[in-house]
């Protein structure tokens, strides 16, 4: 599945939040996006300082940015 809009929005969100771009973190944000689209509920679990809050913040900002340009992201915003 192509996620061009959300991938671009994730990169922009990382920049907007003044985070350093880290490909693994961007991939985690995309994985979380996919889980939100497919599941009724999603929980982030992991050890301290694992990046859970950062990934959530990145995806939150990315969905907001993408909702202005993509119907898919807008539907996720309405369903979460």
* Tens-place pLDDT, residues 15-71: 999 999 999 999 999 999 999 988 888 889 999 999 999 999 999 999 999 887 755
Distance CA 1, CA 35 (A): 13
**pTM given for the model:** 0.77
Q: How many domains does the chain have?
A: 1
Q: Please give the pLDDT value at position 76.
A: 54
Q: Please give the pLDDT value at position 55.
A: 96
Average pLDDT over residues 1-22: 90
Domain that holds residue 70: 4-79
**CB 10, CB 58: distance < 8 Å:** yes
Q: For the chain, how are helix, strand and coil distributed in percent, rounded to 5?
A: 65, 0, 35
Distance CA 63, CA 74 (A): 7
């Amino acid at each position: 599945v192509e996620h061009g809009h959300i991938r671009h929005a994730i990169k922009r969100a990382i920049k907007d939040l003044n985070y350093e771009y880290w490909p693994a973190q961007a991939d985690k944000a995309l994985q979380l996006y996919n889980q939100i689209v497919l599941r009724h509920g999603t929980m982030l679990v992991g050890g301290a300082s694992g990046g859970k809050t950062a990934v959530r913040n990145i995806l939150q900002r990315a969905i907001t940015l993408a909702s202005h340009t993509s119907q898919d992201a807008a539907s996720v915003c309405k369903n979460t």
